[in-house]
């Protein structure tokens, strides 16, 4: 969410807690003109205000280690946030005071099973497109979408170009690169975080020249049929032959 608004001079960012100096918020508080988030350099035009002494307080590294030291029979500690460097240092400090504790640091797109205390990777984009026989909607190619404006459908086609606007909106252009595309998938700035959090920032670039299947209500915009995707579950990658994975009626 933060990276969408940092370039907007009308945005005011309130810092209400401590942040490491090398973290994005730490850099913002220090007056950085640009920062890197999720691999993308962002120009900072927003105003940054600090109010951490009024609103927030939490344990620092030493206090956390002292707290853990009070539980000598502790078996596991899970570190869920912070930069990789900060997490590694905290892990070292914890294991210095308790050599028997296992420190778990879930990575990007990993989930922790508490019953077994094991990490598992989250699934990537779902593959395959449901058969029309299992749906109320039709399943059609991008070139047929114009005939189904106003109806819900599964639409499949090859992504030929993508575009992400500065404020977060993403476009997937099917059939031909923009502006000659025959169908558009749009993710608005209100919903883009759902996709970025699940699939990783820049996920749209991984779809170029891949066949996708998108579910939703078809509408016309500037005489081009499109579907607005509000949830990653609407979007699926079709492996192999699209005609077999998603047959059309």
Query: What would the pLDDT profile of 177-196 be if each residue is shown by its tens digit?
Result: 999 999 999 999 888 988 98
C-alpha–C-alpha distance, residues 171 and 184, integer Å: 7
Lowest average pLDDT, out of 82-91, 206-215, 229-238, goes to: 82-91
Identify the bridge partners of residue 118 per DSSP, sorted by sequence position: 113
What pLDDT sits at residue 241? 53
219 has pLDDT over 80: yes
CB atoms within 10 A of CB 11: 15
pLDDT value at residue 127: 55
The pLDDT of 142-152, averaged and rounded, is 92
| Cβ atoms of residues 66 and 38 within 8 Å | no
Confidence at residue 173, expressed as pLDDT on a 0 to 100 scale: 97
Q: CA–CA separation, 227 vs 220, rounded Å?
A: 9
Distance CA 62, CA 66 (A): 6
Q: What does pLDDT average to over the chain? A: 83
User: Do residues 112 and 126 touch, judged by C-beta distance below 8 A?
Assistant: no
pLDDT tops 90 at residue 160: yes
DSSP class of 108: T
Backbone angles phi, psi at 20, to 5 degrees: -60, 145
Class of domain 132-245: mainly beta
Q: Structure pTM?
A: 0.51
* β-sheet bridge partners, residue 174: 159, 183
User: Percent of the chain at pLDDT above 70?
Assistant: 84
Per-residue pLDDT at 168 exceeds 90: no
Which candidate, 192, 186, 152, 189, places its Cα nearest to that of 172? 186
pLDDT bracket for residue 128 (50, 70, 90)? low
pLDDT exceeds 50 at position 197: yes
């Amino acid at each position: 969410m933060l990276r969408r608004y940092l370039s907007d001079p009308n945005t005011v960012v309130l810092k209400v807690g401590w942040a490491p100096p090398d973290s994005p918020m730490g850099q913002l508080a220090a007056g950085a003109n640009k920062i890197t988030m999720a691999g993308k350099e962002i120009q900072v035009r927003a105003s940054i205000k600090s109010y951490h002494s009024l609103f927030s307080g939490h344990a620092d590294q030493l206090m956390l280690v002292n707290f853990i030291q009070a539980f000598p029979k502790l078996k596991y500690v899970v570190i869920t946030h912070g930069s990789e460097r900060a997490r590694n240092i905290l892990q070292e400090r914890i294991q210095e005071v308790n050599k028997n504790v296992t420190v778990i640091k879930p990575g990007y797109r990993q989930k922790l099973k508490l019953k077994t205390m094991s990490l598992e990777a989250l699934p990537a984009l779902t593959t395959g497109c449901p058969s029309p026989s299992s749906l109320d909607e039709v399943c059609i190619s991008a070139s047929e979408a114009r005939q189904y404006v106003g109806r819900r459908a599964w639409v499949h086609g090859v992504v030929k170009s993508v575009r992400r606007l500065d404020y977060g909106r993403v476009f997937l252009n099917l059939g031909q690169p923009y502006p000659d595309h025959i169908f558009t998938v749009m993710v608005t700035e209100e919903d883009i975080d759902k996709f970025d959090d699940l699939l990783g920032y820049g996920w749209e670039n991984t779809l170029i020249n891949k066949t996708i299947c998108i579910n939703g209500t078809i509408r016309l915009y500037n005489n081009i049929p499109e579907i607005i995707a509000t949830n990653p579950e609407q979007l699926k990658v079709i492996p192999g032959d699209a005609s077999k994975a998603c047959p059309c009626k």
